[in-house]
Amino acid sequence: MKAERIIEAVLFAASRPLSIEEIAEAVGMEKKVVKKAIEKLKNFYEESAIEISEANGKYVMEVKAEYAEYAKKFAPVELKKSLIKTLSLIAYHQPIKQSDLKKLLGSNVYEHVRELKKKGFINTRKEGRTKLITTTQYFYDYFGIDKKDKEAIKNLMEKSGKN
């Protein structure tokens, strides 16, 4: 079994960036060997729609940018639909009281707020007996929105409602 094939299987299955150390330890190879194998793999995938790219010393197998449009349709989304809905309501109404959000969503609100906070999309701070919820800088970065365009997004959401 060739080293690069073993590492190929690992990178494929992991679906997240892995460091040389992580890979070396998992497959029981020297870091040097892992590094060389990755170079070989990169060559193998040159003509493919997939590439092995590097960021911050970690390696990940992903679809090349020019094929991303096709791939997008089939890749599952990382947030559940119900969470996206809750996040969209927060983004539109922010700052919104948790108690007001509860009126819109029912008791799911506690779980959703906890999860969205854990994922870094929202911040909460105490306000009287409830919490006041706003979106974070990470939220704006994630959706590629300039925070200054906050109102533009609201307008966009509003317009979409009238169609």
Residues that bind a copy of itself (CB under 8 A): 1, 5-6, 8-10, 12-15, 18, 26-27, 44, 48-50, 63-64, 66-68, 70-76
Give the x/- contact pattern for another protein in 53-92, rule: CB under 8 A. Answer: x------xxxx-x--x--xx--xxxxx-x--xxxxxx-xx
Backbone angles phi, psi at 133, to 5 degrees: -110, 135
- Distance CA(58)–CA(18), nearest Å, equals 5
HSE, CB side, 13 Å, CA atoms: give it for residue 24.
12
- Distance CA(76)–CA(51), nearest Å, equals 20
Interaction of residue 2 with another protein, rule CB under 8 A: no
Q: Which stretch binds another protein (CB under 8 A): 25-33, 37-45, 151-159?
A: 151-159
**Least spacing, CB of residue 44 vs another protein, in Å:** 17
Reduced to 3 states (helix: H, G, I; strand: E, B; else coil), residue 120 is coil
HSE, CB side, 13 Å, CA atoms: give it for residue 23.
30
Interaction of residue 161 with another protein, rule CB under 8 A: yes
Q: Which residues, other chains included, contact 4 with Cβ-Cβ below 8 Å and sequence gap of 6+?
A: 37, 38, 40, 41, 44
Residues that bind another protein (CB under 8 A): 9, 12-13, 15-16, 53, 60-63, 65, 68, 71-72, 75-79, 81, 84-89, 91-93, 96-100, 102-104, 107, 110, 129-130, 142-145, 153-154, 156-161, 163
